[in-house]
Amino acid sequence: MRLFQKSSSTTSILQNAHPSSWREHRFGLSGSRWERLKGKDFWVTGAGTGYGRCIALALAAAGARVFLSGRRVEKLRETVDEGTALGIDVRQCIEVPVDIRSEEDLVRAVKNIQLVTPSLYGLVNSAALPQSGEAAFPLTAQSGACWTNLLNTNVTGQWLTCKAAMPLLSHGDGFRILFLSSFAGWASTPGFGPYNISKSAVNTLGVSLAAECGVRYPEKDVQINVLVPGEARTEMNQGSTESPYAVVSMVLVLLSHPPGGPNGYFFSRDGRHLAFAYTSEYPRSLLTVH
């Protein structure tokens, strides 16, 4: 199965770094790659919990300014409090509550970001919903409302966020977008059909947007990619014992990649490069360029 081929990968990805020692390990990044994130502006959705929270705080630790989005303001505040407890300078963490299902809300969020900066360097799409437990066999028994809400969040919401952010992202010489997908996007596990479909669609959204932006902005350093974060204990996955900080190293490796890096590729948090549909694995290590 091509997905699990180990033909190309980025080795030495740190997955068990304790966040409180971030100054020592910099989540596995070299000094120069860590420096590349400093002073950059990132927008992270789903930043109030789970992977989004860890990614937002790691970016802030590296000296980036981070706009934190999610629907619940109290969760965004908890993220900032966790950053303070980790000794991260959170003065550059800015809460921008938003419901990504609403284009109006996203336009308002972008206006709020523009009060602070005219451009964004990166967008991390982490906001998503899990499969609801409404029906054991959702593809034949789930309500239309449930299907619509999942797809509106996991697919349309991701697309609307990219669309709203594009004027700010395309303002500079280059930009990064990262979609958090799932192995569900390659799977057909019974009971998870709508979620599987949503993640498969996110894969296609990521690669299609990468191709479109590559053509639309040929002079810019565009790197839009899809990352499979794997299992971790978050709000949507209470069954795992793994820390969501395990994803941070690979995320930072992708977001700090110098010009000429991957655009329209698939990666796993452990450093594996993945294939999806007609897209083959990115052929080079992500760490050969400093």
Ligand X SMILES: NC(=O)c1ccc[n+]([C@@H]2O[C@H](COP(=O)([O-])OP(=O)(O)OC[C@H]3O[C@@H](n4cnc5c(N)ncnc54)[C@H](OP(=O)(O)O)[C@@H]3O)[C@@H](O)[C@H]2O)c1
Identify which of residues 10 and 125 has a Cβ nearer to ligand X in the complex. 125
Identify which of residues 34 and 100 has a Cβ nearer to ligand X in the complex. 100
CB contact set of 139 (below 8 Å; sequence gap of 6+): 193, 194
Q: Around Cβ 9, how many Cβ atoms within 10 Å?
A: 18
State the chain's maximal CA–CA distance in angstroms: 52
In the complex, which residues of this chain contact ligand X (CB under 6 A)?
45-46, 48-52, 70-72, 75, 98-101, 126-129, 153, 157, 180, 182, 229, 231-232, 234-237, 240, 244
- Decide if 45 contacts 52 (C-beta within 8 A): yes
Least distance CB 70 / ligand X (angstroms): 4
In what side-by-side order are the strands of the sheet with 174-180?
A: 93-95, 65-69, 41-45, 122-125, 174-180, 221-228, 266-268, 273-274
Least distance CB 168 / ligand X (angstroms): 18
- Decide if 204 contacts 186 (C-beta within 8 A): no
Identify which of residues 34 and 266 has a Cβ nearer to ligand X in the complex. 266
Least distance CB 50 / ligand X (angstroms): 2
Least distance CB 122 / ligand X (angstroms): 16
The position carrying tokens 């795992």 is 240
Identify which of residues 34 and 120 has a Cβ nearer to ligand X in the complex. 120
Residue at shortest CB range from ligand X? 50
CA 248 to CA 33: how far, in whole Å? 14
CA 57, 244, 14 angle in degrees (round to 5)? 85
Q: Which stretches of 188-230 are DSSP H helices?
A: 193-216
Identify which of residues 36 and 45 has a Cβ nearer to ligand X in the complex. 45
In 101-215, beta strands by DSSP E: 122-125, 174-180
Least distance CB 56 / ligand X (angstroms): 10
The identity of residue 258, as a single letter, is P
CA 117 to CA 119: how far, in whole Å? 6
The position carrying tokens 């952010």 is 165
Least distance CB 98 / ligand X (angstroms): 6
Least distance CB 55 / ligand X (angstroms): 9
Identify which of residues 22 and 195 has a Cβ nearer to ligand X in the complex. 195
Identify which of residues 153 and 223 has a Cβ nearer to ligand X in the complex. 153
Least distance CB 223 / ligand X (angstroms): 19
DSSP string, 247-260: GHHHHHHHHTPPTT
Q: Around Cβ 290, how many Cβ atoms within 10 Å?
A: 10
Identify which of residues 158 and 223 has a Cβ nearer to ligand X in the complex. 158
